[in-house]
Amino acid sequence: MKPAAFDYYRPGTVEDALAALGTSETAKVLAGGQSLIPAMNFRLSQPDLLVDIGGVGGLDRLEVGPSGVTIGASVTQSRVMASDEVAIAVPGLRRALRHVAHLQIRNRGTVCGSLAHADPAAELPALAVACGATLFLQGTAGRRTVDAGDFFLGPFWTDLAEGEIITGVHFPSEAADTVTVLDELAWRSGDFAITGLAAALTTRDGTVSGARLVSFGVGGAPRRMAGAEQAVLGFALGDDSSALYGAAYEDGFDAVDDIHASAEYRREALGALAVRSVRAVLASNGNGTGV
Amino acid sequence: MTLDSPMRINPMIRHRASHIGRAVPRREDRSSLMGRQRYIADLKLPGMLEVSFVRSTEPHARIVSIDTGPALALPGVHAVFTGADLADVELFPQKILYIQPVHQPALAVDRVRYVGSPYAAVVATDRYVAEDAATLVATHTEFDPLPTVADLDQALADDAPRLFDDWPDNYLVNFPADKPEVRKAFEEADHTFSDTYVSQRQTGLPLECRGVLADEVDGEFTIWTSTQSPHIVRTTIAEMTGIPEPRIRVIVPAMGGGFGTKTHIYPEDVVMPWIARKLGRPVRWLEDRFENLVSAVHARDQRHDVDVAYDDDGTIRAIRCKAYCDVGSGEIFMPGTATVFVTGGVLTGGYDFRNMEVHHFCVVTNKTPSGAYRGFGTPEGMFVMERIIDRVAHLTGTDRVEIRRRMILQEEQMPYIMHGGGRVDSGSHAKGFERAVEMIGESLERVRARYADDPDVRVGVGYTNYVEPTTPTYHLTTGHWAGYDSATLRVDPDGAVRVGLGTTALGQGTETTAAQLAADALGVDPDDVTVVMGDTDRAPYGLGAWGSRSAIVMSGSILMAADRVMTKAQEIAAHMLEAAADDIVLTDGRFHVAGSDTPTVTWSQVATAAWVRTVDLPQGLEPGLEMSGYFEPPELEHLPGMDGKVNAAASWSNGAHAGVVSVRVSTGEIKIEDYVVVHDCGTMINPMIIDGQVHGGVAQGIAGAMFEHFQYDPETARPLFASFMEYLYPTCSDVPMMTVEHFETPSPDQPLGVKGCGEGGTIGPAAVVAGAVDDALSDLGVEIKATPVTPSAIRKAIREAADGGGER
Amino acid sequence: MMDTNPGLREVDVSVSINGTQVSHRVPARLLLSDFIRDVVGLTGTHVGCEHGYCGACTVIVDGDAIRSCSTLAAQIDGSAIRTVEDLATDGELTPMQQAFHENHAMQCGFCTAGFLMTLESVDPDGYQEKEQVIDLLSGNLCRCTGYHNIFNAVCSTWGVDS
Ligand SMILES: Cc1cc2nc3c(=O)[nH]c(=O)nc-3n(C[C@H](O)[C@H](O)[C@H](O)COP(=O)(O)OP(=O)(O)OC[C@H]3O[C@@H](n4cnc5c(N)ncnc54)[C@H](O)[C@@H]3O)c2cc1C
Ligand code: FES
Ligand code: FES
């Protein structure tokens, strides 16, 4: 299990990185390498050029401001997880990162790399959608921004154009009346989710007044759960949950069947996770303590 | 010495402190802690080349052509060999006569029968280039795909494609049975039921993959290989390649685990020395994890169709079990045929139950060959038995503990002959079960209280009582080797002792325990004992480490050799002390005349006389102080008698496991809240090491109960796994902390009363977890019939029970 | 605009490893695990899966525990690496190594270096709860011990209530 040969390039600027990517059809960006290098070891991925963005000036910025958190493309998951300021501004990030792999992998894996990789069972893409994050993309044609909700198109498939890179991502600060949580079922600790749910819930007087519910590990990409988002409005802690469960179950209509779980299981689990996440947030008095 | 049973420490030796029975810290640890152990991947020789094997990407196909040209053209590639190049290598031996002929060449020649089957080898300057070339060979191989067989049902269908053209069907082994007593019980019993229980395909999965480094100089071969049986590897290489056996030296470097997978003799073991000779250069192959998953043996792939006859009061009258083992392509030496017989033979575990009729079948499919994995058929059998007991308890309204109490083996029944001839020599079955029930009862209450407020969580408890056949015969597995093992003891002139053993070490602390044994047997300090094994030039011929046999065979062989050394040493000491040999005793390492503390002579003085100052020896005494013992365990049988019964294990350890699980009904999430083990492996040589064996065994049992599963596409027979993403090796979060207690019922037959403990831990968890989940979900009518018990499987069982009106 | 691929098939890697500075020209595709084991010759770091799951290859780079099998040597040019060989000083075991020995936290020893390097890389103050220790240990696989005694070794060294 050794990678096929490739050329290695470590540019200092985004422009050089983009120019290099333009010289080859199979060139790939190398960020933390925690998805890419294992895939190359299996020779499932055989780029002829790797553009390591680890040395690109400016991409290592992790900024916390009044509007939220901006994470540069080379910022590792561990760095984000360790920052108390990040945890205050966007508490969902630390909560989600707890479920991502293990310490040693998070020490190199990047937040943006996870978004670019777009594993359908990954936590961060779903969190980005739930939080309404914005991605900053740059290609030789210029820069653009994309809403996370429009970015994930399918399994390992995003809106990134050929030769384009993610330079950073912005997670807006969590509103005072909103709590973002992430829950999942995975057979082993640190695994990708079998079924997961990222939820940003706004509550007023102990009932849900607004919700962005995003499933992952269910279908081909993280997706807003239209039915459950509707059904949850007005939900209070002691309420009967069958309507919410049913709506979430229906939202899992395109769940996949694989060696780990059946499609039916994933739909049931999605229903259960929706109920349990909403109840957990309500039980925390809407301030997220203990979730 | 005479083989008094049990063999004891020579009574002439007087110790102030005995080393056997103490938690002596391991001598193996320091080098590992410092990163200085040398595993196969750490060894290099000057001029060494690296090999990569090319493996079939087809489950079943004819090889039409292989174009090695493009690979050979790659800079750094030295050679490419295909199966046809190895025409001078014999087929793998097949010594068992009652199974169908497999005809396995060292490398597949014209046909492949599983994805992963090696059919060519590439030799290059380094592994990176070797893999580049292997990829090229693979892409330039033309296969003509044949119809595939992905599972038992497909293999046994009337129109099934056959794996071997000269067989009538796909049965490697086909042993039906018919017992009049069983038939009669079915006629007489109040009720019967039929069911099917399934154990999934798993593997031992040592953290270190396999590897071979081979070198040839002037016709002398040195082969380093990560194997549990170096002498058997050597004999097999000699047999297949024609290299004279004395010219082969097999060395086992430090090993990163084996768990049965490394007992087999693999194609690479034979091909590597062949390449070394061909190229006149040392060559090394290191298995990578993908290769390991598709080409090291699999195991546990069994289905049991059972019929059970029982009475209203919960008495089980008879069990008929059709035991099927899917052995994959069957292309492995030794063949994977023996496990299903072990399953059948020990299925009744620690219970007094003999009215059994077991049919044994091994069936070939287009999957990785199956073979040995820790437990070797016992976990599969225990799962079936405990499922049957729980079902009968449920159907008759009998308490699950009570029904077991009625069936469990009692001390006064020992020795107890099992239905297949297994002779359980002794044990603490009933006592152990009571203790486990007591221990788990306390935690059951605690866990119930913890979840009392959560209506989604159910709590349940499961039990098992197993026997662990230890030190089995190898004859029924290999058709060739049988049961003994050996030790050579030498006392050097400085008085220090060197022990050579025929067994090997793969992480079980054998060096430490062997030193404890030799120290007590010769009345010396363990620090003065050096242990050598895993080297066919430095250690005597032996069968290796498998089947929980090292404790018994090394105790026996060390005691035998030590006794011989002692006898001679007494004679020498007597001469030096001018006394009679019979009057000489050894106290704390010094020889003296019984009853008088001085004068004394030391081991060093005796050994110096034996090796150096032979002028000091009594007249006519042969020089030297080195003796061997070849120990054949008493009671061990190698072939069935006329009645088909055989006591295929020298001794029988026992254990009771019990576990509490919590299950979330909504998601099927399952957590083992507590796990207790009451264990009895007879006399304990080193309790710390035994606990470690139990912990690791239980963890592997839990891996099988809840996580690991090799799945294949039923349409194509292609593996649906390639990595640890699919094969779920559990982490620290997934395995519970457990409580282990021991009883110590010495074996009446084996040396020092030792029994063996390597596999027991793995036997219990599948049965315990299934029982506990059933119990937790009893009001939903759930019944677990297959492993692994995943959340998805639990939800499915809940749905099915609901659809079936909660009946079971 | 670049016309030709600016990348290199071979790269120069200069790192400090266990306090010693080394420089080698190596293939760009060389994994850090192979760099440490084959090029530098420190074989205490093991390889058990080469796809990031088992943790046997864990080493410390600039203070952080990482998977050396899923990192290119090229990527860590200029860094400081620590491997298991750097733990004991003059043959004296660290308290954690000693605890592994005393608690029988290893059998075949193949996973041991990876566990030790993970443990060495963190501040024990962040792991004073039993659950935190279990979570930390979950990034390394062990097939032999069932984790039981590894957990005990860590708890005893860090004073965690097990
Ligand atoms: C054992 C193990 C367990 C894991 N478990 C989880 C888990 O539970 N959940 C989870 O979410 N992840 C998991 N991961 C994946 C891990 O989180 C990865 O780090 C992450 O998915 C990718 O980040 P990276 O920086 O390592 O990207 P890389 O591996 O470097 O790149 C991944 C892909 O994204 C592209 N890419 C990277 N950065 C950019 C960019 N800025 N612009 C454009 N393209 C880019 C690369 O070209 C490549 O195709 C696991 C990994 C391992 C090895
Ligand atoms: S070898 Fe690196 S994680 Fe397994
Ligand atoms: S001690 Fe063998 S893998 Fe951990």
Hey, where are the domains in chain C?
A: 6-84, 95-158
SS3 content of chain B, % helix, strand, coil (to 5): 35, 25, 45
**CA-based nearest distance B795→chain A, Å:** 7
- Domains of chain A in start order, with CATH, are 7-52 (3.30.43.10), 62-172 (3.30.465.10), 178-283 (3.30.390.50)
Alpha carbon B649 to its chain's center: 13
CB contact set of C76 (below 8 Å; sequence gap of 6+): C13, C15, C32, C61
**CA-based nearest distance A94→chain B, Å:** 20
pLDDT value of position B722: 96
Say whether A268 and B666 touch across the interface (CB within 8 A): yes
C126 touching chain A per CB within 8 A: no
The residue ranking higher by pLDDT, B190 or B10, is: B190
pLDDT value of position B805: 54
pLDDT value of position B191: 98
Neighbours of chain A (3+ CB pairs under 8 A): B, C
Question: Is the pLDDT reported for residue A285 higher than 80?
Answer: no
**CA–CA distance from C64 to each of A1, B211, B294, B333, B464 (Å)?**
25, 31, 34, 45, 44
User: Does the CB atom of residue A33 touch ligand 1 within 6 A?
Assistant: yes
Say whether C139 and A23 touch across the interface (CB within 8 A): no
User: Does the CB atom of residue C111 touch ligand 3 within 6 A?
Assistant: yes
Ligand 1 atom nearest the C-alpha of B724 is 1
Is the CATH number of domain B13-36+484-631 3.30.365.10?
yes
CA of C54 relative to ligand 2 center, distance in Å: 5
Sign of the dihedral through C-alpha A85, A90, A92, A97? negative
User: Does the CB atom of residue B207 touch ligand 3 within 6 A?
Assistant: yes
Model confidence pLDDT, tens digit, residues B272-286? 999 999 999 999 999
> Which residues of chain C make contact with A22, given a CB cutoff of 8 A?
1-2
Of C9, C64, C75, the CB nearest to A54: C75
**CA-based nearest distance C6→chain B, Å:** 23
Mean pLDDT of chain B: 96
Interface test with C, best of A2, A29, A37 (most C CBs within 10 A): A37
Question: Is the pLDDT reported for residue B420 higher than 50?
Answer: yes
> Which residues of chain B make contact with C42, given a CB cutoff of 8 A?
35
Mutate to test the pocket of ligand 3, among C97, C111, C154 (most ligand atoms within 8 A of CB): C111
**CA-based nearest distance B76→chain C, Å:** 14
Q: Which residue has the tokens 């090889």?
A: B63
Interface test with C, best of B34, B287, B293, B512 (most C CBs within 10 A): B34
Ligand 3 atom nearest the C-alpha of C143 is 3
Q: Return the CATH number of C95-158, one of 3.30.572.10, 3.20.20.80, 1.10.150.120, 3.50.30.30.
A: 1.10.150.120
CA of C45 relative to ligand 2 center, distance in Å: 10
Model confidence pLDDT, tens digit, residues B114-128? 999 999 999 999 999
Is the CATH number of domain C6-84 3.30.70.660?
no
CA of C17 relative to ligand 3 center, distance in Å: 25
Assigned token pair, B556? 């026996």
- Among protein residues, the one with the nearest Cα to ligand 1's atom 9 is A100
**CA–CA distance from B206 to each of A42, B260, B507 (Å)?**
20, 9, 10
Strand partners, B408: B351
Say whether C48 and B209 touch across the interface (CB within 8 A): yes
Question: Is the pLDDT reported for residue B1 higher than 70?
Answer: no
For strands B77-82 and B118-124, give the pairing. Answer: antiparallel
Say whether B724 and C145 touch across the interface (CB within 8 A): no
Ligand 1 atom nearest the C-alpha of A99 is 8
* Reported confidence tier of residue B806, pLDDT bands at 50, 70, 90: very low
> Which residues of chain A make contact with B664, given a CB cutoff of 8 A?
272
Q: Write the ipTM.
A: 0.97
User: Does the CB atom of residue C13 touch ligand 2 within 6 A?
Assistant: no
Model confidence pLDDT, tens digit, residues B717-757? 999 999 999 999 999 999 999 999 999 999 999 999 999 99
Is the CATH number of domain B302-475+637-803 3.40.50.740?
no
**CA-based nearest distance A201→chain C, Å:** 28
For chain B, which residues make up each domain, given as ranges?
A: 13-36+484-631, 40-146+209-255+262-295, 302-475+637-803
Q: Which chain C residue has its CA at the smallest distance from A54's CA?
A: C75
> Which residues of chain C make contact with B512, given a CB cutoff of 8 A?
none
Alpha carbon B342 to its chain's center: 12
Say whether A188 and B668 touch across the interface (CB within 8 A): no
B731 touching chain A per CB within 8 A: yes
Model confidence pLDDT, tens digit, residues B352-372? 999 999 999 999 999 999 999
Query: Cα separation of A26 and A49, whole Å?
Result: 7
Is the CATH number of domain B40-146+209-255+262-295 1.20.140.10?
no
User: Does the CB atom of residue C110 touch ligand 2 within 6 A?
Assistant: no
- Say how many CB pairs under 8 Å bridge A and C: 125
Sign of the dihedral through C-alpha B253, B257, B260, B264? negative
CA of B362 relative to ligand 1 center, distance in Å: 44
Say whether B734 and A43 touch across the interface (CB within 8 A): no
Task: Work out the average pLDDT over B200-219.
Answer: 98
CA of C56 relative to ligand 2 center, distance in Å: 5
Model confidence pLDDT, tens digit, residues B171-189? 999 999 999 999 999 999 9
Q: Which chain B residue has its CA at the smallest distance from C56's CA?
A: B207
Say whether C71 and A5 touch across the interface (CB within 8 A): no
User: Does the CB atom of residue C53 touch ligand 1 within 6 A?
Assistant: yes
Model confidence pLDDT, tens digit, residues B18-27? 899 999 999 9
* Reported confidence tier of residue C3, pLDDT bands at 50, 70, 90: confident
Mean pLDDT of chain A: 96
C33 touching chain A per CB within 8 A: no
Model confidence pLDDT, tens digit, residues A138-173? 999 999 999 999 999 999 999 999 999 999 999 999
Say whether B208 and C42 touch across the interface (CB within 8 A): no
A45 touching chain C per CB within 8 A: no
For strands B497-501 and B529-533, give the pairing. Answer: parallel
**Listing from the earlier edge strand, what are the strands of the sheet with B590-593?**
B13-14, B584-587, B590-593, B601-602
Q: Are B698 and B738 in contact (CB under 8 A)?
A: yes
Of the candidates A96, A114, A98, A119, the residue with the CA atom closest to the CA atom of residue A34: A114
SS3 content of chain C, % helix, strand, coil (to 5): 35, 20, 45
Of C6, C50, C55, the CB nearest to A41: C50
pLDDT value of position B215: 98
Question: Is the pLDDT reported for residue B673 higher than 90?
Answer: yes
Question: Is the pLDDT reported for residue B807 higher than 90?
Answer: no
Determine how many CB atoms are found less than 10 A away from the CB of residue B641: 10
CA of B713 relative to ligand 1 center, distance in Å: 28
Model confidence pLDDT, tens digit, residues C146-162? 999 999 999 999 999 98
Question: Is the pLDDT reported for residue A215 higher than 90?
Answer: yes
Query: Cα separation of C71 and B481, whole Å?
Result: 46
Question: Is the pLDDT reported for residue B4 higher than 60?
Answer: no
Model confidence pLDDT, tens digit, residues B240-280? 999 999 999 999 999 999 999 999 999 999 999 999 999 99
Neighbours of chain B (3+ CB pairs under 8 A): A, C
Q: Are C141 and C51 in contact (CB under 8 A)?
A: no
Question: Is the pLDDT reported for residue B2 higher than 50?
Answer: no
Q: Which residue has the tokens 């079990």?
A: B321
- Where are the extended beta strands (E) located within chain C? 10-17, 20-27, 58-61, 64-67, 80-82
CA of A269 relative to ligand 1 center, distance in Å: 25
Query: Cα separation of B554 and B521, whole Å?
Result: 12
Task: Work out the average pLDDT over A62-86.
Answer: 98
Q: Are B431 and B655 in contact (CB under 8 A)?
A: no
Of the candidates C44, C40, C82, the residue with the CA atom closest to the CA atom of residue C61: C82
Question: Is the pLDDT reported for residue B86 higher than 80?
Answer: yes
What is the Cβ-side half-sphere exposure of residue B325, based on CA atoms within 13 angstroms?
Answer: 35
User: Does the CB atom of residue C143 touch ligand 3 within 6 A?
Assistant: yes
Model confidence pLDDT, tens digit, residues C81-109? 999 999 999 999 999 999 999 999 999 99
Q: Are A59 and A71 in contact (CB under 8 A)?
A: no
Model confidence pLDDT, tens digit, residues B589-607? 899 999 998 999 999 999 9
* Reported confidence tier of residue B200, pLDDT bands at 50, 70, 90: very high
Ligand number nearest CA of B506 is 3
CB contact set of B176 (below 8 Å; sequence gap of 6+): B359
Q: Which residue has the tokens 């607004």?
A: A210
> Which residues of chain B make contact with C54, given a CB cutoff of 8 A?
207, 724, 729
* Reported confidence tier of residue A290, pLDDT bands at 50, 70, 90: low
Q: Which chain C residue has its CA at the smallest distance from B286's CA?
A: C47
- Among protein residues, the one with the nearest Cα to ligand 3's atom 3 is C142
Query: Cα separation of C129 and C131, whole Å?
Result: 5
Say whether A268 and B288 touch across the interface (CB within 8 A): no
User: Does the CB atom of residue C37 touch ligand 2 within 6 A?
Assistant: no
3-state SS, residue B516? helix
First to last CA, chain A: 40
**CA-based nearest distance B700→chain C, Å:** 7
